[in-house]
Amino acid sequence: MPFNDIADNKLSANVNFYDEFGNALFDHDPGYGKPLFLTQDTNNFLFGMKLQANFTQPKDGMRGEGRTPMRFEVNGDDNMWVFIDGMLVLDIGGIHDAHTGYIDFSTGEVAVNVSGTEYSTPTTIKAQMLEADKSLPDSYFRGNTLSNYSLHSIQVFYMERGAGASNCKFKFNLPVVPRSNVNIQKEVISDDPAALADDYHFQLYVEDGDEEETYRLASNYTCTVYPAGEGTEELQQVGTDGILTLNNGEWAAIKEAGVDGLSYYVKEVGVNPDSFNEYRVNGELITAENCVLQDGTMQITGPTKILGSDYSCTMKFQNIKNKSKIKIIKTIDRLYDINGDAIFTFAVQNVSTGEIGEQ
């Protein structure tokens, strides 16, 4: 369809009286009576469109200080499909009038409206993705939606098949990730406020083009650091030591480190081995051979990746402090001194902080 040939003041004799579902508008609706433009050539309505991007899942799938649910909403006819990480999540395929669908990333709910008044029985992001790939680990999800601070890809396909009037509308508030980057993401899972507020440090090592299987420390480059939720991204200058600093939930997009087409790996450095008892990179448990203890701190090395020019690679580092379970056993030697309703009180004290827990 020759969209670029629509000219000013070349209007149809008709005006708009209907919404995208074909329902009549009230005369006070903003779209009521709006002019309809004419195209200047013969129209070919058999066309298609593809939209794709990388995006990040914020904490609890919510955006901004007002905690707005992150959603992707579509409306149109005919075929409309939405894939996440290559797996079909929203399916509005077929020849039909305008249908609406949505993906709610805060709850994981996915539904389609086929009548203009009622939505279908919802499914979920998790159910749809597991139907496509049953091997996805539990760490991929949080409830029925995606795990916090995780990075993903989205692809949207639209095709007009009726060769007549068509409409298409997208509405979304996903935080989009630039392409052709190395992305480093940090997540801390702990109930310790100090660990959640701490700084975490990373180094990027890039394949040396002159020598096989050798890597150089990337240094003296600028990267973009994105906040955990709503907010403004900031530039961070990495110096000669190659240290990149992130807080919990933040992620960095690196484009200027000379990585394109080369192998690389990321190392988290300066980790306090007493603060956590589990470490993961991209969901995979880090084994002892990938951890090095040096000067009282630990270095965690992620897997080697190759970056292409048309996609981004992500390294998600997780430091996890699993809650310890304490078993308390009370032994009574002389039952005749105690009646059956006796109550015993215990207190648990943290020997490191001196803090006494609930009794």
Tokens read off for 291? 């951890």
Tokens read off for 268? 């988290």
Q: What is the pLDDT of residue 133?
A: 93
pLDDT band, residue 245 (cuts 50/70/90): very high
C-alpha span between 53 and 176 (Å, rounded): 7
Tokens read off for 280? 């993961």
Average pLDDT in the 223-231 region?
78
> What is the average pLDDT value for the chain, to the nearest integer?
79
- Identify which has the larger pLDDT, 242 or 355: 242
pLDDT at 358 over 60: no
Domain segments of the chain: what residues?
1-43, 48-176, 179-320
- Identify which has the larger pLDDT, 190 or 336: 190
DSSP state of 163: S
pLDDT band, residue 307 (cuts 50/70/90): low
Preceding amide of 104 cis, omega within 30: no
Tens-place pLDDT, residues 127-169: 999 999 999 888 889 999 998 877 788 999 988 766 656 677 8
- Under 8 Å between Cβ of 249 and 240: no
Q: What is the pLDDT of residue 146?
A: 93
pLDDT at 236 over 80: yes
pLDDT band, residue 274 (cuts 50/70/90): confident
C-alpha span between 77 and 160 (Å, rounded): 6
- Under 8 Å between Cβ of 202 and 261: no
Tens-place pLDDT, residues 251-269: 888 876 666 677 888 999 9
Please state which of the ranges 54-58, 156-160, 272-276, 353-357 shows the lowest mean pLDDT.
Answer: 353-357
Please state which of the ranges 83-92, 125-134, 304-313 shows the lowest mean pLDDT.
Answer: 304-313
Tokens read off for 279? 């470490």
Q: What is the pLDDT of residue 165?
A: 62
The percentage of the chain sitting over the pLDDT mark of 70, rounded to a whole number, equals 74
Q: What is the pLDDT of residue 125?
A: 96
pLDDT at 213 over 80: no
Q: What is the pLDDT of residue 310?
A: 47
Q: What is the pLDDT of residue 107?
A: 95
pLDDT at 323 over 70: no
Q: What is the pLDDT of residue 329?
A: 64
Q: What is the pLDDT of residue 108?
A: 95
Structural fold of domain 179-320: Immunoglobulin-like (2.60.40)
Tokens read off for 308? 């292409």
Strands in 44-120 per DSSP E? 48-56, 62-63, 68-69, 71-77, 79-84, 87-92, 99-104, 109-113
- Identify which has the larger pLDDT, 283 or 17: 17
pLDDT band, residue 200 (cuts 50/70/90): very high
Average pLDDT in the 75-96 region?
85
- Identify which has the larger pLDDT, 230 or 250: 250
- Identify which has the larger pLDDT, 308 or 101: 101
Q: What is the pLDDT of residue 210?
A: 66
Q: Is 305 exposed, middle or buried (0-12, 13-18, 19+ CB in 10 A)?
A: middle
Q: What is the pLDDT of residue 13?
A: 77
